[in-house]
Structure 1
Amino acid sequence: MTPIEIQNYLETIKKLILEYSPKLVVAIVILLGGLWATSFITKAAKKIMLKRNIELTLSTFIGNVIFWTLRVLLFVTVISKLGIETSAFVTILGAAGLAIGLSLQGSLSNFAGGILIILFKPFKLGDIIEAHGETGKVDEILIFSTKLITATNQIIYIPNGILSNGKIKNYSQLGIRRADLVLKTAYDSNFSDIKNTILDFVKKHQHVIQNPNPEIIISELTDTHVIFTVKVWTNNSDYTKVCSEILEFSKSVVRL
């Protein structure tokens, strides 16, 4: 390469730097400011919705939608400042969106599932639910999935599409639940005494709800044992403790 060609090459680079440097600086400023603004606007929107007593599930979901919508608009603004023709880009983005939409039908169904969950409210944040073989506390309803935290502190993400179309068991919605504790005793034991002893215990238990009344019924007769069920009502927060304490007490009463 001759010295003249090198000089021309350097002049071209210098010209491009001078031409695009202001655009690049403006784009970077807009990007940094936009990233801060999207987070600020999203947090402000969530605070406003909470002050107006909009349900936390709905406010979180709307906040996520606002966040990602603003991020997409920020991206388009930044590339326009770099000199890229946005009209052509929007056309390309639309075509790409159609192609991506066809290939990501599952994700779109998950988004629609999230909308259905928000609208029909089969559960809300903080509820204990069982769905698709998993049980946990609803920690967050995202755009495409719902986040559960199990009793063993594991995080499970269930796609909203299958969640909205599947069977959901909500343990928290009614506030109280019934514990059905299955026990067995020998045929030669005095079932009446066992029943009265356990009933006396559960009626005095501070976490057992007395209306509906606790009850004990014989549920099955096997070749060797009488199977009976202790049915008591309690608040959701006390369920595990009540079950454990009744079983612990019953161990000293029944005869195997």
Structure 2
Amino acid sequence: MEIQKYIDDYMPVVMEYGVKLALAVVIFIVGKIIAKYIASAVKGSMVKSGVDSTISIFAANLINGLLLAFVVIAALGQIGIQTASFVAIVGAAGLAVGLALQGSLANFASGVLIILFRPIKLGDFIDAGGVMGSVKNISIFSTILKTGDNKIITVPNSRIMGGPITNFSTEATRRIDLIVGISYDADIRRAKEVLNEIVDADERVLAEPAVTIAVSELGESSVNFVVRPWVNSADYWPTKFDITEKIKLRFDEEGIGIPYPQMDVHLHKEVS
């Protein structure tokens, strides 16, 4: 009799919560499958659109995690658990994590922008974030540069996107800008002829755009020429170094003086 009484008293409750628990399990399983399907669909769509694989994987995982959170909340609500406080706790925890990781989130956002808009790419020689070097790797949070003296520098992406980016590799050609000073008693016409001969003799100098060689300034102690030949970007530094050296050697041969800073000191003797 007592067993029957317990059955009569508690069976409806067991049945009610059993059905709710079963529905909660169904909601969780089906929701998990749907979340995984949606995340996979988003990832596939991004890959087809040409989005970088790092971003597509991260976005798919993020969407999957968010959907799973909603599925868990829905399943708990089906059982009868009050989810309002749970949502508040999750939100507060998310805010705390966001504040703690705000630097990393800024780097992530900058990494997404770099990958999407491509201001730089692998192999480019850039000046960004206070560092100059060749781009060796671009990840979500940082960019790795290799300097001219073979050092590897990891730069946070927020530093790169937070300031000007000078990309020396985007264009196929570059202009060399040299300033050459000669003394005031030197022959300007001959100096200009020598500069033209040096530039014309270098096969790396491009015919177009035309070279600019002209007097730019009458300085305090020198007459300054600008020498501006155009070269392929890969030939920039070797050509600049060679032309600079040849100018000095030819000027020495031609007797064209290159002035250097001087200071005249006058001593006055005081008569007591």
TM-score by length of 1: 0.64
Q: 2:110 aligns with which of 102, 113, 117?
A: 113
1:229-244 paired onto structure 2 within 5 Å: 229-244=226-241
Matched pairs, number: 187
Question: Are the aligned partners of 1:128 and 1:138 in contact in 2 as well (CA < 8 Å)?
Answer: yes
Identify the residue that residue 81 of structure 1 maps to in structure 2.
Answer: none
| Alignment partner, residue 219 of structure 1 | 216
Residue among 100, 104, 107 paired with 1:103: 100
Equivalence map 1:141-156=2 (5 Å) = 141-156=138-153
State the distance in 1 between where 2:53 and 2:173 align: 26
- What is residue 3 of structure 1 aligned with on the other side? none
Q: Residue 162 of structure 1: CA displacement? A: 2.6
Counterpart selection for 1:169 from 150, 166, 171: 166
Deviations 1:61-94 (A, max 9, x none): 448748x959x99xxxxxxxxxxxxxxxxx9988
Structure 2 unaligned regions, length at least 5: 1-42, 66-86, 252-256, 259-272
2:155 aligned partner = 158
- Which has the greater radius of gyration? 2
Whether the 8 Å contact between 2:198 and 2:247 is mirrored in structure 1 is no
Note the aligned Cα RMSD (angstroms).
3.0
Structure-2 change in CA distance of 1:61 and 1:140 (3 Å): farther
1:133: how far off?
2.6
Of 168, 181, 186 in structure 1, the residue corresponding to residue 183 of structure 2 is 186
Helix, strand or coil for the counterpart of 2:99? Answer: helix
State the match for 1:25 in structure 2: none
* Counterpart in the other structure of 1:88: none
Q: Which has the higher contact order (CA 8 A, sep 6+)?
A: 1
1:202 is matched with 199
Q: Which amino acid aligns with 2:143?
A: T
SS at match of 1:197: helix
**Sequence identity (%):** 41
Q: 1:133 to 1:161 in 2, by over 3 A?
A: closer
Note closer, same or farther for the CA distance 1:209–1:123 as it changes in structure 2 (3 Å cut). Answer: same
In 2, Cα distance between the equivalents of 1:222 and 1:186?
10
Distance 1:96 1:64 in 2: 24
TM-score by length of 2: 0.60
Residues 52 and 115 of structure 2 are in contact (CA less than 8 Å); yes or no, is this contact kept in structure 1? no
**Which structure 1 segments of 5+ residues have no match?**
1-44, 74-90
